[in-house]
């Protein structure tokens, strides 16, 4: 993860021959610098996939595409694509319907609908070399359809956005609190832990909790809740909590 929080989101996934970004919610400068910090050249990206149009997922995209030009395709859902303002960039846009699977090099990228307050938000699964990575953030609850797509993920990036009690007494206006708590808002620590307890399997050897709110959550609270859930279901994946605004370690699967 180049970053994963309410302040900005971008994830790099690569094999020996293929490199993609999922979301570009940092400044272009930060994306370029953080890729360089893990030994990757942004010019070598093969594709960019966007989950939805909120600024913490696309803020650096127009400038990044201005640098990359039309060689690198940007994949967005048919309904999301018209909402982006490209300024002076002229990107190569590829649209798809939620549920589609797109092959880029040796990566197979599957998409699925998530419940969030945007026009057509999606999560992604990425398969290569017999491994499955799943990204599920920005969803108000876990419908059966999302649970289905996350099954068998060897690496799972799962939202653990807020602690409801901290949110309720915090500084946000009430209408924002209602949005976050709604079924099209964000997963709480407890909702993430309910999923862990009921659905996680031994196939998931790395579990990363992401998209934390810096105002309504903290890494220790999210981690403690998840550890208790893992103890309850008897599973022992590697558990990581993505620190807001920070570049994560490199995960080699």
**For 215-243, what is each residue's pLDDT tens digit?**
999 999 999 999 999 999 999 999 999 99
On whether residue 249 sits in a domain, the answer given is no
Q: Would you state the pLDDT for residue 89?
A: 87
Overall average pLDDT of the 98-124 stretch: 98
Q: Would you state the pLDDT for residue 158?
A: 98
On whether residue 95 sits in a domain, the answer given is yes
pLDDT for residue 74 is more than 90: yes
Percent of the chain exceeding pLDDT 70 equals 100
On whether residue 141 sits in a domain, the answer given is yes
pLDDT for residue 106 is more than 90: yes
On whether residue 246 sits in a domain, the answer given is no
Q: Measuring CA to CA, how many Å separate 191 from each of 24, 176, 184?
A: 26, 19, 13
Q: Which of 125, 136, 120 is nearest to 186 (CA)?
A: 136
Q: How far is CA 96 from the centre of its chain?
A: 18
In this prediction the pTM is 0.97
- Say if residues 10 and 1 touch (Cβ distance below 8 Å): yes
Encode pLDDT of 78-105 as tens digits: 999 999 999 888 899 999 999 999 999 9
Q: Which domain holds residue 17?
A: 3-241
**CATH number, domain at 192?**
3.60.15.10
On whether residue 191 sits in a domain, the answer given is yes
On whether residue 165 sits in a domain, the answer given is yes
Encode pLDDT of 22-31 as tens digits: 999 999 999 9
Encode pLDDT of 18-64 as tens digits: 999 999 999 999 999 999 999 999 999 999 999 999 999 999 999 99
Q: Would you state the pLDDT for residue 87?
A: 87
Q: Measuring CA to CA, how many Å separate 186 from each of 137, 214, 240?
A: 8, 14, 19
On whether residue 197 sits in a domain, the answer given is yes
Encode pLDDT of 153-178 as tens digits: 999 999 999 999 999 999 999 999 99
Query: Which uninterrupted H or E stretch holds 164?
Result: helix 164-169
Overall average pLDDT of the 105-127 stretch: 98
Angle at alpha carbon of residue 240, lines to 236 and 243, rounded to 5°: 165
What is the number of domains present in the chain? Answer: 1
Overall average pLDDT of the 129-150 stretch: 97
Tracing tokens 């079924």 back to the chain, one arrives at 183
- Say if residues 187 and 237 touch (Cβ distance below 8 Å): no
On whether residue 248 sits in a domain, the answer given is no
* Burial of residue 41 (number of CB atoms within 10 Å: 0-12, 13-18, 19+): exposed
């Amino acid at each position: 993860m180049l970053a994963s929080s309410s302040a900005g989101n971008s994830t790099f996934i690569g094999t020996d021959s293929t490199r993609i970004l999922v979301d570009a919610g940092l400044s272009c400068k930060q994306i370029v610098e953080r890729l360089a910090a893990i030994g990757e050249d942004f010019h070598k990206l093969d594709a960019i996939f966007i989950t939805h149009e909120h600024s913490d997922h696309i803020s650096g995209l127009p400038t990044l595409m201005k640098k990359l030009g039309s060689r690198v395709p940007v994949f967005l859902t048919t309904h999301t694509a018209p909402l982006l303002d490209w300024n002076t960039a002229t990107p190569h846009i590829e649209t798809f319907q939620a549920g589609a699977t797109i092959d880029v090099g040796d990566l197979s990228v599957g998409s699925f609908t998530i419940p969030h307050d945007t026009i057509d938000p999606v999560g992604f699964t990425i398969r290569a070399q017999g491994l499955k990575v799943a990204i599920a953030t920005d969803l108000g609850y876990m419908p059966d359809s999302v649970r289905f797509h996350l099954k068998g993920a060897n690496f799972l990036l799962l939202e653990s956005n807020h602690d409801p009690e901290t949110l309720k007494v915090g500084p946000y206006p009430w209408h924002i609190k209602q949005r976050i708590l709604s079924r099209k808002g964000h997963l709480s620590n407890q909702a993430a832990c309910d999923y862990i307890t009921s659905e996680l399997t031994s196939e998931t050897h790395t579990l990363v909790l992401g998209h934390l709110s810096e105002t309504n959550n903290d890494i220790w609270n999210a981690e403690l809740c998840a550890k208790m859930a893992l103890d309850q279901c008897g599973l022992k994946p590697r558990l990581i909590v993505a620190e807001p605004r920070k570049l994560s370690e490199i995960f080699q699967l």
